[in-house]
Copies of this chain bind each other. A is one copy, B any other.
Amino acid sequence: MAHAIDFADVEAARARIEAHVHRTPVLRSRTLDAWARGERQTSCELYFKCENLQRIGAFKIRGAMNAVLALSEEQARLGVVTHSSGNHAQALALAARERGIPCHVVMPTTAPSSKRAAVTGYGATIYDCEPSVSARAAGAQRVCSETGAHFIAPFDSPWVMAGQGTCAWELLEQAPTLEAIITPVGGGGLLSGCSVAAKHISRRIRMFGAEPLGADDTARSKAAGRRLGNDRVDTIADGLLTNVGELTWPIIDELVEAVFTVTDEQIVAAMRVVWERMKVVIEPSAAVPVAAVLSEEFRALGLQRVGVVLSGGNVDLTNLPFS
């Protein structure tokens, strides 16, 4: 079966969004290299793609911007809608503002006020709903009917996936000798887009995902060879709670070698190491692949040059997990 996107979609996305997103820097850390190497014979160089320094503080602006800019004039005029309480909502709000069109966000009443403020700060309109998956979907459906606005899914959208893929392309320009790339997996938009881009640029590159043990549907799906969901989720990595998508899964199934799982304890320890040693603010979801590359299991692969996507840096500074 043909995948939802191919490299031409990533190329088109890049041309569309390049003037609107940052080419984020790639950081290195001798300390983390040494820890990733551990006791093994060969060295390990980690290349951290800092999407936490991206606009809105996360890679999500890439996909949202591509989706918004890909709309025709007629489609765009009526605006865009999504349901999200996270980075995708902020990203869509900013993308819509830059195109000068309305943005509607359906958000559970339980969403923290800081996230509501961020979305309204970009000029979007918030619609309250009950905190359930079905209420969110129904709310978005209603806003679509009432306004004619276009629904932009947070990950299971070819435009969004292609936009996220530009991240791996940039990373491979900045660090052309990478043997592997690892990204977090929630819905799989980032991992699928990056896999399509990276595998096109270098057939030999090895792609990996990293997932919290408390929302390990993609790892279990890889093991089962078919898409599974989470019965319940329990992790500090609040950006990775969703199930892998219908469109993203076939790409991950085919192009991704393995999905590593890590505990919340490993996630917090990795997050702390990045803050203390690399001096950049990352959110728990972004610490998931860092925790993975510091694990024995990953070390055993013997990889010497690994790209790690630090996916975002949006945290509440008054509620940090360090003790």
Determine how many copies of this chain the complex contains: 2
Residue pair A313, B279 in contact (C-beta under 8 Å): yes
Q: Is A57 an interface residue (CB 8 A)?
A: yes
For A320, what are the chain B residues with a Cβ–Cβ distance below 8 Å?
317, 320
Q: Which of A79-114 contact B (CB under 8 A)?
A: none
Nearest opposing residue in chain B for A58, CB measure: B279
Given contacts A25-B25, A52-B279, contact A317 B313 (CB under 8 A): no
Q: Is the CB of B318 within 8 A of A279?
A: no
**A183-206, CB under 8 A of B: which get 1 and which 0?**
000000000000000000000000
Q: Do A322 and B313 touch across chains, with their CB atoms under 8 A apart?
A: no
Q: Are A57 and B317 in contact (CB under 8 A)?
A: no
Q: Could you pull out 21 A-B pairs where Cβ atoms are within 8 angstroms?
A: A25-B25, A27-B53, A52-B279, A53-B278, A53-B279, A53-B280, A57-B279, A272-B317, A275-B281, A275-B317, A276-B281, A276-B317, A279-B280, A279-B281, A279-B282, A279-B313, A280-B280, A281-B281, A318-B322, A318-B323, A320-B320
- A: residues with CB less than 8 A from B are 25, 27, 52-53, 57, 272, 275-276, 278-282, 313, 317-318, 320, 322-323
